[in-house]
Chains A and B, each alone.
Chain A
Amino acid sequence: MQKLNEQQLDALAKDLDAIRDEEMADVGEKDANYIRGIVRLHRTLEFGGRALMPLGFIPPFFIAGATSLGVAKILENMEIGHNVMHGQYDWMNDPTLNSQTYEWDTACDSDSWRLTHNYEHHTYTNILGKDRDYGYDVMRLDASQTWRPENLFQLANLGLLSFFFQWGVALHELEAQNLRQGKITFADKKEFGKALVKKGGRQVLKDYIFYPALTLPVAPVVIAGNFTANMMRNLWSSSVIFCGHLTDDAETFDQAECEGESRGHWYLRQLTGSSNFTGPQWVYTLSGHLSHQIEHHVFPDIPAHRYPALSKKVQKVCDKYGIKYNTGSFASQYASMVKRVAWYSLPNRFNLQARAEAKAEAKAAAEAAKAAPKARRAGPAKVSAKAA
C-alpha cells in the first residue's frame, strides 16, 4: 500500500476538503427533490406490494408483490435510511429526514445503528479490534488475527449472515465476541436488549402478525411473501456491504498507527480501506450508492446520489498520490470478497495467497528502501502490510 508522509497527508486532506466544500456549496433543491422522489417511490412500492400480496396464491401476483415490497425495503434501508441517518439531508431541516430521529424498516434499532455504524465503523474504519464491522465477529480476514478452528467454517457464517443480515445487524451492538471473552457482561447490554426486543418485535409484528392477520384466509401466502421480501433485502444489502470493505485489496490498520492520527491519515484509511463496484444506475440506486463506498467513506454526509459524479474527482486525487482506487464489477468484487473469507479460514501457513503477497510486498519494500534511504529517514507514515 502507498505510504505517505505527514506533508503528503496534509496535502491529501486539503485536496479532499476542497472537493467536499465545492460539492456542499452546490447541495440544495435538487437533492431535496431527489430524496423526496425516492421517498414517494418507496411508499408507492410498499403500498403496491402490500396490496398485491393477498393475491399471492396466483404466482405472478406473488412475484410482483414480493418484489415490490422487497425493492421497497431495499430502497428504504439503503437509499433513505442509511443515508438520512448519516446526516446527508440534515441541512433540509425536515423532521422526517433528520439523522437523529429517523427510524428505519429493519430489525436494527436506529440508535444502535447510529452508534455502531456512523460512529464506530466510520470513525475507526478497518482498524482491527476497533472496527467490528471488519468480519462482524464471525469471520477472520487478516493474517494478524489469531486463527481458531471455528474459522474453518466461516464461509458458512458468511452465508448465514447474508440470509439473516437484518438480525445480524440488529445484534451487532451486543458485541458477542467481547461477551464471550468476558470483556463485558450481559448487564452492560441491558438497555440495548430492551431496544432490540422493542424494535425487532415491531418488525415481526408488522410482517408476520399484523398484515397476515388482516388477510386471514390467505395469511400463509402473505407470510411467505413478506419473508421473501425480507430475504431479498437481506441478501442484497449484505452483498453490497461486504463488497465495501472485505474485498481482497481493502487495507486494514492496527490500532497503534491510528492513535492520534491526522485528518489526512483518516482520509487515507477511508480511501484504501473501502472498495467500489460498477454497474448501471439502477444498481447504484438500489445500493444506496454504496456502490461508491470509497466516496461514501471519504464524504459520509454528502448526499449519496452525488457519489458517481464525485468519483472522477476522487480518482484524480488517488492518482495524484499513487493511492490504489479499488473498483471492479459487482461480480468480481463479490468473488474477491468470498476468496478472502475462504483463504483466511485457513491458518496463515496454509494461506498460500497471503504468503505470496507478503513475500512480494517485502521484496518491494526492500527495493524501495535501497532506492531512497533518505526519504525513509524523513519519516513515512507507518502503514501495516496486510499480510505481514
Chain B
Amino acid sequence: MQSQQTPAPSPWHSALHWLGRQLSNQSNPWAYLDPILGSINPMLVKGTVAARVVAIEDAARDTRTFVLKPAGHWSGFKPGQHLSLTVEINGARHTRTFSLSCLPSRWKQDREITLTIKRLPGGLVTNWLHDYLKPGAVVTLGDAFGDFLLPANPQPLLFIAGGSGITPILSQLSTLAAADYPKPVTLLYYVRTEADIIAAKELYQMEGQWDNFQLKIHTTDDGGVMTAAHLPAISKLADYHCYLCGPRGLMDLAGDLLGQAGVSESQISSTFFSAPQVTLDTDELGGEVAFSRSGKTVHSDGETSLLELAESAGLKPKHGCRMGVCHQCACTKKTGIVMNRLTGKASLPGEETIQLCVSVPQGPVDIVI
C-alpha cells in the first residue's frame, strides 16, 4: 500500500494555528473567515476544498462525467483513488464517495479532475447531480484516498471491471497508456448492454494505439456472464497482478475464478464499489450495527435504541436525556438507514448526524463511536 505522506507542519504554522484557535474558538480557524471569504467568492474558502463544475459530459447511458476545477490547495491524487464529494441539497450537506476517472497529469497541468458518476435508482445524491448540478456551480471535495494503486514495478496486469466500477480503472489505464507500459495489460469489462459502456470511445482508442493492451467487453444481458474462459491462459496468470472493481456479485465470482486458476490473494487488489443501499426491500427494523471507531459489531433486534445497544456492547457514548431532547448523544452515522422513533421517519443512507437515543437501525449501519 502506498499512502500519501502529509508533511509535518512547521513550528511557525503550528503557532499560528494555535493562536487562530484561541481567537476564533474554531478547531479549524479558517472556518471563522470562510463565511466572509465564501460570500466574496465560494472558491476562496480555505477550511474546505471548493471545486467549480467546468463541464458535464455524457459518458454512457445514465452516466455522466463531471469535470471539476478544485481550489489550488487540493492535494492531488494517484490513479485508482477515490474522494468524497459534498453537495448541498435543500440546505443539508450530503457526502458520497466517487472514483477519480482522469489522468493525474490533467490535475497537474490543467488543474482539472473528472468524476464519472452513474445514476443510482432512487439515489438522492446521484440523481441530484444529474438533474440539478450545472456548470458554474461550486461543490466541496475531500482529499483523495484509497490503496487501489498501480504496482511499483512493471508486471502483467489484469483488470476486471463491472458497470461503473470501471471509473478508477479508467484513470489507471490512461496512466499506463500515457507511459506506454511495457507489459501486457488486459481489461475484462462487464456491462449490461452496449449502451452502458462507460468511456467507450477512450477505451477503443486506447486499444488501437497501445499495443500491449487487450480490451474485452462482455455484455451480460446477452449472456456474457464471466467464466474462466475469459481469463488469460492459466500458465501465464502466475505473473499477473489483478485489479477488481465492480458490484459485489461480480467481485465474488471473479475472486473465485482467479482462486481456482491458482492466483494467490496477494496478487489481487480490489476495491469494493458497492452502490450504497438506497432503499431496503422491507421496512423491517434491526440489523448489523458496526461501531466503527471502537471496532465492535452487534446485532440489533429492531427494538433497542442505538444508545442502549452501544452501552450493552460496553461502550460509553456521551448522552443525556435519553428522550431526544438534549442532543448530547448526537454522533455521525457513516452509512446505513436508521429510523427516528420520535418522528417515525427513516434517514438517508449516507453520512449524517443522528441522535443515538431515539434511533433504531433499519438494516446494516455503521456508527462512528
Contacts and interface: CB of A to CB of B under 8 A. Distances in A.
A123 B353 contact: no
Interface residue range, chain A: 35 or more
B330 A43 contact: no
Contacts of A94: 93
Interface residues of B, number: 36
Nearest to B22: A202
Given A40-B35, A91-B353, A123-B321, A118 B88 contact: no
B312 interface: no
Interface of A: 21, 24, 27-33, 36, 39-40, 43-44, 47, 85-87, 90-96, 98-101, 103-105, 114-115, 118-120, 122-123, 202, 205-206, 210, 263, 266, 300-301
Contact of B25 (A85, A122, A123, A202): A202
B1 interface: no
A86 B31 CA distance: 20
Contacts of A114: 320, 326-328
A21 B343 contact: yes
Interface of B: 19, 22-23, 25-27, 31-36, 39, 47, 88, 90-95, 318, 320-321, 323, 325-328, 330-331, 343, 351-353, 355
B353 A119 contact: no
A210 B353 contact: no
B321 A122 contact: yes
18 contacts: A24-B343, A28-B92, A32-B91, A32-B92, A36-B35, A43-B36, A87-B353, A91-B353, A92-B92, A93-B95, A94-B93, A100-B330, A103-B26, A103-B27, A105-B25, A114-B328, A123-B321, A123-B323
Given A96-B31, A115-B320, A122 B325 contact: yes
Contacts of B94: 93
Contacts of B327: 85-87, 90, 99-100, 114, 118, 301
A99 B92 contact: no
Contact of B328 (A31, A118, A210, A266): A118
Contacts of B26: 96, 103
A118 B92 contact: no
Contacts of A210: 19, 22-23
Nearest to A36: B35
Given A44-B36, A103-B26, A118-B325, 13 more contacts: A32-B88, A40-B35, A47-B36, A91-B91, A93-B94, A93-B353, A100-B331, A115-B328, A118-B326, A123-B323, A123-B326, A210-B19, A301-B325
Nearest to B340: A24
Nearest to A266: B323
